[in-house]
Amino acid sequence: MSRFRTEAGGRVKRDKVLSFTFDGVAYQGLTGDTLASALLANGVHLVGRSFKYHRPRGIVTAGPEDQNALITLRRDAARETPNLRATQVELYQGLEAESQNRWPSLKFDVNAINGLASSLFVSGFYYKTFMWPRSFWKNVYEPRIRAAAGLGKAPAKADPDRYTSRYVHCDVLVIGAGPAGLTAALAAKEAGATVILADEGAEFGGSLLGDAVTTIEGKSTDAWMSDVVMNLAMSDKVRMLARTTAFGYFADNFVALVERVTDHLAAPSDALPRERLWQVRAKQVILATGALERPLVFPENDRPGIMMAEAGRSFLNRYGVKVGLRAVVFTATDSAYRAAIDLKQAGVDIQLIADLRARPPADVVDEALACGLTVRAASTLCGTQGGLRVSAAEVGEVNGDLTIGRKEVVDCDVVLMSGGWTPNINLHSQSRGRLIYNETTQNFLPGAPGYDNVSIGACKGTYDLSATMNEGYAAGEAAARASGRKGGMKKGFSSLGGLAMGGGHLGVVPHDRDPGRVKAFVDFQHDVTAKDIKLATREGFQSIEHVKRFTTTGMATDQGKTSNMNALAIAAKAIGKAIPEVGLTTFRLPYTPTTFGNFAGTARGDLFDPIRKTPMHDWAAAQGAPFENVALWKRAWYFPKAGEDMHAAVNRECKTVRTTVGMFDASTLGKIEVVGPDAAEFMNRMYVNPWTKLEIGRCRYGIMCRDDGFVYDDGVVGRMAADRFHVTTTTGGAPRVMNLMEDYLQTEFTDLKVFLTSTTEQWAVIAVQGPKAREVLAPLVEGIDIGKDAMPHMSVREGRICGVPTRLFRISFTGELGFEVNVPADYGQGVLDAIWREVREAGGCAYGTEAMHVLRAEKGYIIVGQDTDGTLTPDEAGVGWAVGKAKADFLGKRGLMRPDLTGPSRKQLIGLLTVDPKRVPDEGAQLVASAAPAKGSHALGHVTSAYWSENLGRSIAMAQLENGRARLGETVYITSLTGAAFPAVVADPIFYDKAGARIDV
């Protein structure tokens, strides 16, 4: 066993030895170790390099707040996780870890030269240094900065692990399972509440896990904790979540927890997710998140081997690891004395305790002296020595005027520091709780909470152990009562020997070094020193939020857990304001870095976004059709035959529809059933058209505006009965049309008796279009006379097709004789098969959305959302004839009376025929008055639709053009992305069969 491992004690299993590697070197540790404790047991302190100067950095804490001990864990090529804190990584057999931010090796890093040139790297250096020349930014500076910066590497392969999510409700959520959290959970449970107890550690107990001397209720902490944890675990009302971090506190007590399910296992089962996201809605939340020990800001305080005093004690008592053999303790608090005593009793040579305070409490000092320790009051560290590990500390006497008196260099291999305790108010602050600043203890404490929560124990500034447990129990009882449980119990706890946590110091300690040159680090990970913060204030940054962004202090992966208070104190002093006046930066989620997998959960790959398929989707796929996305729908785009490209297929489909017949899946059209005694009046008010006189069995092309008078949606509407309309909408517009209808029905037209049902997915719709459409359907339809006179254009009939009930529409979006067969969705494929047989027999084809677009454009039929854009009135879109001018009111009637909707600057939809018939304009291209318009000229409009028309043997286009209808026959120019603007003649947008003779057959 290594000389850094104690003979006995701690919570590690000494008979269960584990092998692991760090940067390829093999080491051994014990079951129960973290990666940090196992490395320290092997005498390894150097674990990483800092962000900016690439300075060697060691393990500083024993917990998740560590800024330095960031490593990459590797299971295989796809399972590489960067930026894990070695202090949180549980050791398993075969673990492979690597240090980060170093090249070529941790011990020799080329970029450490940054440290020698550090005068260039002052705060704000990115903003200042790389500004000139401008052209260098993209190609020279940025790639180099990116290569040098960044912590760790993202894995190059897709994450093979599973991440799951659960929603749960509970009466009381307790966050943190130290002495406060355990007693709170106990009380809530005894009061009959449903409880969730979450702790980020592998074991419950918090600070008690590193405590060997304290007794509670006459028992050892170990025995007391085991009893309480067992008691809670036996209850079916308590859910205990270890390895679970509460990382986000959202409105109304919605708290997000991430449970790390398999990261600690050597060979995780495939049945387990890697992480589980718990989304908890709690009636009451109890925050028992403890306090974090602060570093002291002294010159060269960043050498490996310099760490928090309580971390040294925790490594000893919990893991049986001596963090060094010869220690100097530098403190401003009482708690470090306990660390010194514990380490001395374990055989570590404590050179001296240097206490920054002139008069440390006598009882604390006396206890240390009785244990044979040397204590020097009014002492500071003016610097440290050593390369990859601290080798000596320069201890100096602090005179009354804060100058430095006698100095002495003391050999050591570890410095244990303690600058005081910062209550961990992160979640309280996230929950929008107010803050209190205690001037005596120089701490921010939780004030009035933002939601139903309460902070207890050290996170509230209560440090005495018995008081903490009493507070916990009372809070648990009160929370249970507030959530509707009985409660009423009282209990007091007695403990002996808890940690004294008084004292503390904020900001730079007194020293005799040149403050303009020496590095006294505040934020270890981002290399922010005291002088960087002072520089920021000299440059005029007065708000701590600005100082933070300029210096990047507190912006590292730890979000300033250990550095914020020191940074704030230094800034406040430099600005000459009190700490609370400068203000604390806002705490943001996540509390600790959280994987993307946790947020993505199962929403990845095919499940990332829902897709909608028509009932005939698989048939189209089997025909070889590619699909295009329309809203969430997949729509068959075209149906290529062997050897055909898209262009050839679309040309053939367009020709076939106009010469024989084509079949098209129109199921994605939105469909709304409008029913009720006032259905016609409702339609009158929602659509610009009049509906009262529409006969049963007839259809009308409806235009919907919003109250602003602009076209919002369109579609054919069939009247099925006096009180029933079958309304169709655009594919993408269906949800918003339904929402708008509901809005007016529920809040504006409350006098109308109507109900609305979305039937989009209930109907499969097969359009049959072309001269032979009637011939195709005739053998299949039962009970409907589809003859020319019996069933004219724009009519709808109910009957059967292939034995299936149908609403058969005679309508056309192609300009040819056409029908749309609506059948219940489940029969869609069967009916399509029958129609498809007839279509092929008739020499027809299936066509997709591209041919549909071309065919409708040949007829000048608009597509709302493509040819209109929310700025065209019905008249401007060429459908002004639809407006029922005699109606008293409808959506858009008042809007259309606005004076700004008239005049020559308004655009109108027109057709364009390019002078070169082979040239197809770009959709979206601007229209200009001349081939080479002067820079800054005014665009007259833009192309909305443009296609090659095989039927016409030329290109066709539609466009919005200022005063367009008055310009018929004029030439305008269409801009191009590839060359000069080219001419086109303004034309009527109906390019084919202007008289409409083909439809009426």
Partner 1 sequence: MLLVTCPYCGPRPEIEFRQAGEAHIARPAITCSDDEWADFLYMRDNHKGYMRERWRHVAGCGRFFNVVRHTVTDKFVASYKVGEEKPAIPAEAAAGPRVEIVR
Binding site for partner 1 (CB under 8 A): 250-252, 254, 279, 281, 432, 434-440, 444, 447, 450, 580, 583-584, 707-708, 739, 742-743, 746-748, 750, 888-889, 893-895, 898-899
Contact of 333 with 421, CB cutoff 8 Å: yes
Compute the least distance from the CB of residue 589 to partner 1, in Å. Answer: 13
Nearest to 464 by CA among 257, 243, 214: 214
Compute the least distance from the CB of residue 528 to partner 1, in Å. Answer: 23
269 vs 747 by CB, closer to partner 1: 747
Contact of 762 with 671, CB cutoff 8 Å: yes
Contact of 315 with 382, CB cutoff 8 Å: no
84 vs 740 by CB, closer to partner 1: 740
Owner of token pair 């980020």:
200
CA–centroid distance for 288 within its chain: 26
Contact of 512 with 403, CB cutoff 8 Å: yes
Compute the least distance from the CB of residue 277 to partner 1, in Å. Answer: 13
**For residue 486, what are the contacts with CB-CB under 8 A and spacing of at least 6?**
191, 192, 480
Compute the least distance from the CB of residue 707 to partner 1, in Å. Answer: 6
233 vs 607 by CB, closer to partner 1: 607
31 vs 279 by CB, closer to partner 1: 279
Compute the least distance from the CB of residue 624 to partner 1, in Å. Answer: 37
Q: Give kind and range of the element (H or E) at residue 775.
A: helix 773-777
Compute the least distance from the CB of residue 743 to partner 1, in Å. Answer: 6
The strand ranges marked E within 187-318 are: 195-198, 215-216, 219-220, 238-241, 244-250, 254-260, 275-287, 291-293, 306-308
Compute the least distance from the CB of residue 89 to partner 1, in Å. Answer: 31
425 vs 928 by CB, closer to partner 1: 425
Compute the least distance from the CB of residue 963 to partner 1, in Å. Answer: 23
Q: How far apart are CA 727 and CA 810, in angstroms?
A: 14
Q: Give kind and range of the element (H or E) at residue 167.
A: strand 163-175
Q: Phi and psi of 469, rounded to 5°?
A: -70, -40
Provide the 3-class DSSP secondary structure of residue 734. Answer: helix
Q: What is the 3-state secondary structure (H, E, C) of 952-981?
A: CCEEEEEEEEECHHHHCCCEEEECCCCCCC
Q: How far apart are CA 584 and CA 589, in angstroms?
A: 16
254 vs 701 by CB, closer to partner 1: 254
Q: How far apart are CA 291 and CA 289, in angstroms?
A: 7
Compute the least distance from the CB of residue 585 to partner 1, in Å. Answer: 12
**For residue 938, what are the contacts with CB-CB under 8 A and spacing of at least 6?**
none
Q: How far apart are CA 154 and CA 190, in angstroms?
A: 46
Compute the least distance from the CB of residue 883 to partner 1, in Å. Answer: 14
Owner of token pair 């005699």:
886
Bridge partners, residue 767, by sequence:
664, 820
Q: How far apart are CA 666 and CA 729, in angstroms?
A: 11
747 vs 905 by CB, closer to partner 1: 747
Nearest to 884 by CA among 706, 688, 686, 679: 688
279 vs 466 by CB, closer to partner 1: 279
86 vs 734 by CB, closer to partner 1: 734
Tokens at 401, concatenated? 């005027």
Compute the least distance from the CB of residue 747 to partner 1, in Å. Answer: 5
Compute the least distance from the CB of residue 431 to partner 1, in Å. Answer: 11
Compute the least distance from the CB of residue 541 to partner 1, in Å. Answer: 19
Compute the least distance from the CB of residue 449 to partner 1, in Å. Answer: 12
**For residue 622, what are the contacts with CB-CB under 8 A and spacing of at least 6?**
none
CA–centroid distance for 479 within its chain: 31
135 vs 750 by CB, closer to partner 1: 750
Tokens at 837, concatenated? 């047989």
Q: How far apart are CA 331 and CA 357, in angstroms?
A: 8
252 vs 789 by CB, closer to partner 1: 252
Q: How far is CA 532 from CA 119, 273, 595, 676, in A?
A: 11, 44, 31, 73
Q: How far apart are CA 162 and CA 600, in angstroms?
A: 10
Compute the least distance from the CB of residue 891 to partner 1, in Å. Answer: 10
248 vs 312 by CB, closer to partner 1: 248
* Type of residue at 317: N
Contact of 703 with 882, CB cutoff 8 Å: yes
Contact of 417 with 323, CB cutoff 8 Å: no
Cis peptide before 590 (omega within 30 of 0): yes
187 vs 291 by CB, closer to partner 1: 291
Q: What is the DSSP letter of 945?
A: E
For the CA atoms of 813, 818, 821, 822, the dihedral, rounded to the nearest 10 degrees, stands at: 30
Residues in the chain, how many? 1001
Provide the 3-class DSSP secondary structure of residue 873. Answer: coil
Compute the least distance from the CB of residue 742 to partner 1, in Å. Answer: 6
Q: How far apart are CA 693 and CA 208, in angstroms?
A: 83
Compute the least distance from the CB of residue 586 to partner 1, in Å. Answer: 11
Contact of 693 with 632, CB cutoff 8 Å: no
Compute the least distance from the CB of residue 361 to partner 1, in Å. Answer: 20
Q: How far apart are CA 985 and CA 913, in angstroms?
A: 5
Contact of 163 with 277, CB cutoff 8 Å: yes
